[in-house]
Structure formats: C-alpha cells, structure tokens
Structure 1
Amino acid sequence: MNLKVPQNIYPLSRQSAIDQLEFVPGIWVNGKYYWMHNSSEKVIFEEELIIKVKLELIHSKIRFSSIYVSSHSVHPKEIKVLGMYYFSNVNQDHLAFISPTGKKIFHISKNNIFLVNAQFKGELLKEYTTVPVWSAYTDQIWSSVPAGTLKYQPMAKGPAASILAVKMTIHSRETCKLNSWAISGSNKNELLSMEQALLKNPLAFPFEK
C-alpha cells in the first residue's frame, strides 16, 4: 500500500495535525476494562490500582504519553494497559490499519498520515486492532473479555479507532510505565525516521535501553 498522501492545497488550520488525533488510555484487569475519559488519573478501588497519564511535549508532530500504573494490592496482578486513538472529528473519513510486519498502526486522513505505537520495557506492540468508532467502547473490541484478548481486525474505514493492548505483571507496591506515541507526517519514510529519532531520544526514554 502506498502511504504517501497528497500535498495540502488549502491553508493549514490553526489546530496542528497531531492534535486532531485523540488518545484515550485504559486498562483491563480481572475480566473488566476501564477507560479514562477526560482525566489524567483514575483510581480503581476494587483492584487497588491507580493509573496516571502524563503528556510529554517533545515535538510539534509527536504526541507522546507516559502511562503509569501503580498497585497497592498485596498480590501480583496480570493486567493489560490499553490505548485508543481516533480523530476528534468523528465524521472524518479516514483509514486505520495495522502493519503486521512492522508491528505498527497507521491512520490516513486527507493530507496526513499518522503512525501509532507503544513500548514497554523495550518491547514494541504485539496486540492491536482497528474498529468503527461507534463500537470502540463496547465489548465488540474483544474476542474474549474474560481473557482480555482483543478481536483482531487489521483495517477499518470511515470513522475508525485503533486500539493497542500491552500485557504486564504488576507486583505489590510497584509502579509500571508504558510509553505510547502518535506521529504525524506526509509519508511513511518521514514517520519511520521520526520514530527512530524518538526511540533514541534520552528525554523520552531516560532509563530505558
């Protein structure tokens, strides 16, 4: 698939391209899932978990988020941190798809292409899906809610969302960190170059090799 998009022939909006792509973090634990709507912190009392999200200002074309999950339970927990990306204009016609060889997610909309990815302890994405926006917050994103397994759908057209899931074991009194980012550009090579530069950026990954 050719990932080059046409040049913009209209004046640029005051809103940058990357700001059009919304990010909503979430978590799956013990057969239930929770989304963080318009909030940078969420406490799940019944699971003794706290989720915090910090947005890092790294580059005008990059939205970089750090998700911290802290456990106050005395028992280890198997969880999945979730990340959903979709356009703020839900009427916007675009294509969201997964590149299985590159293990990345792409969104194409009009004059822009976006790369979406995440990293936990040096490991990049292994589980992801794309869905219509109207089913993004429902059980339809899962092949099994009790097991926390996303339904694999490699492509969605129209108002669509991409969802990633990263599995981790969190121990008592431990805090785990997941990094996720979206990058905007005009072609695939530009996006991949920017991502490589980001992964080498000590400000983005100060303690990770």
Structure 2
Amino acid sequence: MKIEANLQKDYQSVQRKLLVKKITTTPGIWVDGKTYWIQNGYEKLIPEHSISVHVKQIHKHSKIQYNEIFVRNHSQEPQKMKILVLNYFSKAFHNHLSFVSPTENVIYHSIDDQLYLVNGEHNSNSMEQRTVQPLWNVHTDHIWSNNQNGVLKYQPMAKGSSVSIFSLNMEVMPQSTGISRAWSIMGTEKKDILDMNHILMQTSTSIS
C-alpha cells in the first residue's frame, strides 16, 4: 500500500509539473487600428465592426494544442483584418527562452529540456508577422511598431517572463466566415516537432 501511495504521489507530481509548463494560447483580432483579445479563449462579439469570433479546440495529438478560429463578418462589406495569436506560460520561468526562427518561419519557447513550437495558417498562408515581447507589453500599444497599420514591433528573442505573438492576414467577405488555425507542439526533439508541424501545415487530418 505504501509503494502504491508513493507511486501515486510521484505520478501526481509529474502531472502537476506538466500542467504548469502547459503553454496558454489567447487569440485576438486586429481591425482598423484596434486590438481585441478573446480573453475567455472561446468567443467574442465585436459589434462596432459587425464581427463575431468563435474558437474551437481540436484534439490532434497529446503533444499538440490546436485551435480553429472562426471569424464571422455580419456586415454587407468585405473586411480585412489580422488574426493575432498570443502564446505564454501562466507561471514565470527564469530559464524560459522564446525566439523567432526566420528560416523555419516558426516561434520556439524553451524551458529546461522541453521545446514548444508555435505556428499557424490561414488559407495555406503561414505567419505574416512574428515577434516575442516582454509579458508586460501585452494589452498595451507597446506590442506595435505601427498600430494604425497593424505592424507588430519585431523582437527576435526574449528571456524570462515573455510571450510570443504572430499574425495572420485575413479578409472575410460579407455575411461569410473565415477560418484560421493556430497550434503549439511540445517535445524534446526538434526534428520530431518540425515533422509534426509539417504535417499540420499540409493537412488538417488528425495525427494518430
């Protein structure tokens, strides 16, 4: 009984550590110089732009967090916007490193031996802009180089309490819905993570 209790305790400890290191994703919308974050992670109505957003979490693989972001244009005119995807850890890790990889066009977060790849797409187009920022820049204009034109402030690397942000260009026709996808992949081997990322870029079929 004592052995079983110790095993259960060890298992719970491992699960807590994994949960603590789970990356959190918050989608957002930039339109006409204004930024709207979907704080609850699921849905938001933006009446001033006649837009509604719904986020659906889809299970692909135990190491993948995958979201489909549906944007409905309720107006009678086409609307251009940017999907924003914010990724961060709820707990601050002093050994957390986040950085942009221009050659692979992805963002990485690294803690200890765990590596997290962040990416997304809209209509087979990959990230338009990507940056990492100090945590305290979020929900301020400091994430922008030019807010009116939707240009993110580029920073390739950050340590400690930092977040990653990327954008996807989207145009939604009147009375229509646009869909973007965003994901994060966790692992210890970079090659395995990149292989999964390649599959997700190619298809939306579940990975078994």
Pairing 1:95–2:97 present: yes
Deviation string, structure 1 residues 115-165 (Cα, Å, up to 9, x no partner): 000011111112111001111221111001111111111111111100011
Deviation at 1:171, TM superposition (A): 1.4
Change (3 A) 1:143 1:61: same
Deviation at 1:103, TM superposition (A): 0.5
Task: Identify which of 22, 32, 35 aligns with 1:33.
Answer: 35
Report the equivalent of 1:4.
none
Report the equivalent of 1:196.
198
**Equivalent-residue separation in structure 2 for 1:28 and 1:39 (angstroms):** 16
TM-score, structure 2 normalization? 0.87
**Equivalent-residue separation in structure 1 for 2:127 and 2:20 (angstroms):** 20
Report the equivalent of 1:125.
127
Residues 62-141 of structure 1 aligned to structure 2 (within 5 Å): 62-141=64-143
**Equivalent-residue separation in structure 1 for 2:148 and 2:133 (angstroms):** 19
Deviation string, structure 1 residues 51-74 (Cα, Å, up to 9, x no partner): 000000111100000000000111
**Equivalent-residue separation in structure 1 for 2:151 and 2:93 (angstroms):** 28
2:178 is aligned with what amino acid? C
Change (3 A) 1:148 1:67: same
1:50 is aligned with what amino acid? S
Larger Rg computed on CA atoms: 2
TM-score, structure 1 normalization? 0.87
- Unaligned 5+ segments in structure 2 are 1-12
2:92 is aligned with what amino acid? V
Change (3 A) 1:182 1:40: same
Deviation at 1:18, TM superposition (A): 9.1
Report the equivalent of 1:183.
185
Question: How many pairs align?
Answer: 195
Deviation at 1:13, TM superposition (A): 2.9
Residue 14 of structure 2: SS of its match in structure 1?
coil
After the TM superposition, which of the residue ranges 54-63 and 120-129 deviates more from structure 2? 120-129
**Equivalent-residue separation in structure 2 for 1:109 and 1:84 (angstroms):** 18
Report the equivalent of 2:10.
none
Residue 149 of structure 2: SS of its match in structure 1?
coil
2:26 is aligned with what amino acid? V
1:193 is aligned with what amino acid? D
Change (3 A) 1:25 1:190: same
**Runs of 4+ off more than 6 Å:** none
The answer to whether the 8 A contact 1:63-1:181 is kept is: yes
Residue 148 of structure 2: SS of its match in structure 1?
coil
**Equivalent-residue separation in structure 1 for 2:109 and 2:41 (angstroms):** 24
CA RMSD of aligned residues (A): 1.9
Task: Identify which of 8, 13, 16 aligns with 2:15.
Answer: 13
Residue 118 of structure 1: SS of its match in structure 2?
strand
- Unaligned 5+ segments in structure 1 are 1-10
After the TM superposition, which of the residue ranges 111-120 and 187-196 deviates more from structure 2? 187-196
